[in-house]
A = this chain, B = another copy of it.
Amino acid sequence: MARACRDTLMLSIGAVREIQMIPHDVHLQIGSLLFERLDQIDLTGPFEVLSRIPNSTYRIYAKKADCVRDLHGLRLIPDATLAEAPPLDVLHIPGGYGQEALMEDEEVLGWIRRQAAGACSMFSVCTGALLCGAAGLLKGRRATTHWASFHLLPYFGATPVNRRVVVDGSRIFAAGVTAGIDGALQLAAELRGEDAARSIQLHIAYAPEPPFNSGTPETAPPKILQQAQRSLRGITAQREETARRIAARLGIRVGDQGQTAERR
């Protein structure tokens, strides 16, 4: 099937909020990237929303057709391989520790780049943003990612924005892990209107009531934040090293303090 929105996009002037302009009677091809050691809810949170978007086909794509394990062992099977994917209208890129292994994988980066070039919308969750960055898709963008990797966004040419969901034109970035549900609802509203998003929200009973207030570095008790930072030190150092290498490849120069981040 041809991309639903290419013609629509041709009609739009400027890059802002063009995804609202897709006619609701145009069928959408929505696809998620699945990879080894992703953080499963970066995919399964959005799945709950994306699989309910009216007049759409939603599929999950991976390098191979085999079962993939998330970073805590959940076993998921893709619907098809990257090579089998049609041109997508909406491209969803999750994150998780396994993102690191793909940061210089041209098969995956090239696929992301080609799909994003024609898609109406690109949607990253958590450190999926770093993968988009490695594909060169964050240059000049406002973006967000997991709090532990937030400081790395400038290496990909992005301005970090400390919000749970950041919408920059046709690109939507959700912050860490569970933020993918909020981002997907925002995406659903952009694609099919707010009532469609509200209907999905009611079906999935999304009226969250976290029993504690510890979901961000700003709200978590300092001791718990320090423990979390310690436990993430290894992967964060590795991601920093990779980010510097990619910045050099992309020709992006970052000062010692990084670029100034927008704070809400």
Contact = CB atoms under 8 A, between A and B. Distances in A.
Contact of A41 (B147, B194, B202, B204): B204
Nearest to A40: B44
Nearest to A185: B211
A: interface residue count bin: 35 or more
A252 interface: no
B208 A210 contact: yes
Interface string A38-78: 01110011011001100000101000000100001111110
Interface of A: 39-41, 44-45, 47-48, 51-52, 58, 60, 67, 72-77, 79, 126, 146-147, 164-165, 175-179, 181-182, 185-186, 189, 194-195, 197-199, 201-217, 219-221, 223-225, 227-228, 231
Given A202-B214, A212-B198, A76 B73 contact: no
B202 A217 contact: yes
A48 B210 CA distance: 14
Contacts of A75: 76-77, 79
Contact of A44 (B74, B198, B199, B219): B74
Given A41-B204, A197-B211, A197-B214, 5 more contacts: A45-B45, A178-B204, A179-B205, A181-B208, A195-B224
A194 B210 CA distance: 12
Nearest to A59: B73
B228 A216 contact: no
